[in-house]
């Protein structure tokens, strides 16, 4: 099955889902989110028992499409609310996906792309992969992914990553527990397939039940925090700093923050 922005291939009990906007560094457009959700639905309904998520070209996912972000600055709060719900729905779907999901991170995974990569059950990264929740650098905020990050790395580390917006390498991502394995670039898919083979040797019912238990243990608190994040995301999109940050990024200049 091929959509415009996502490619789905199956090899027996293994499914491979590829973000397929290499000319845009696989940035998250509304269409790509729809295509990814459709692909995940198809895998869940299929005989595949394990899925690998990767990106076409030199990047895994560069985060939200800048054209989309720019357009949202001129849209109504209701339109922004719909977009925020759509985006966080993708993150939650990946986080709670019933079948084991392996991210094969072949390059940069930034902002929402970093979230997408690290919300999979396993994240295998190339040695030259980079990560970062960079939203604050352009006047935005990691409202939709932040609650997942805090759940994964704890309060103190989450504040470091989310408030600095710094980009960090695969080795640090592994040290923080966001990445399971770091391998040479040529070995990323090989390593992902090896892990998939290990998982395919396990009881599928046991793995599904285990994932369901892990999700149920924290989902009530997570969903409350997601609701807070959606409201915060909508609010910041109406600010002057959001518009200035995007304009400065697109114009390749230093932003002039007003704090409004």
Q: How far is CA 35 from CA 17, 67, 195, in A?
A: 10, 18, 25
Dist CA 17 CA 52 (whole Å): 6
Dist CA 142 CA 208 (whole Å): 30
**From the CA atom positions of the chain, what is the Rg in Å?**
18
Query: Where does 104-144 have alpha helices with state H?
Result: 112-118
- The residue behind tokens 């992902």 is 192
Determine whether 244 is an active site residue. no
Measured distance between the N- and C-terminal CA atoms of the chain, rounded to whole angstroms: 45
Catalytic position from the list 13, 31, 44, 135: 135
Q: Given its phi and psi angles, is residue 192 left (phi above 0), alpha (psi -120 to 50 degrees) or beta?
A: alpha
Q: Which residues are catalytic?
A: 135
């Amino acid at each position: 099955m091929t959509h415009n922005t996502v490619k789905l291939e199956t090899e027996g009990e293994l499914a491979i889902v590829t973000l397929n906007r290499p000319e845009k560094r696989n940035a998250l457009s509304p269409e790509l989110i729809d295509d990814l959700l459709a692909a995940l639905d198809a895998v869940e309904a299929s005989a595949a028992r394990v899925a690998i998520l990767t990106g076409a070209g030199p990047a895994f996912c560069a985060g939200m499409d800048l054209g989309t972000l720019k357009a949202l600055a001129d849209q109504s709060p209701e339109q922004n609310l719909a977009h925020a719900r759509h985006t966080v729905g993708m993150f939650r779907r990946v986080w709670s996906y019933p079948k084991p999901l392996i991210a094969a991170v072949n390059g940069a995974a930034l902002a929402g792309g970093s979230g997408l990569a690290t919300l999979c059950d396993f994240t295998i990264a190339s040695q030259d992969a980079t990560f970062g929740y960079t939203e604050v650098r352009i006047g935005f905020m990691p409202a939709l992914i932040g609650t997942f990050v805090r759940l994964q790395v704890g309060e103190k580390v989450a504040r470091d990553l989310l408030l600095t917006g710094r980009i960090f390498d695969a080795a640090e991502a592994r040290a923080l527990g966001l990445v399971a394995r770091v391998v040479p670039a040529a070995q990323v898919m090989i390593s992902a397939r090896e892990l998939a083979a290990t998982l395919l040797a396990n009881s599928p019912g046991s793995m599904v039940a285990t994932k369901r238990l892990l999700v149920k243990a924290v989902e009530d608190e997570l969903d409350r925090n997601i609701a807070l994040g959606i409201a915060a995301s909508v609010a910041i999109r109406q600010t002057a700093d959001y518009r200035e940050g995007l304009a400065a990024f697109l114009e390749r200049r230093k932003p002039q923050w007003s704090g409004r």
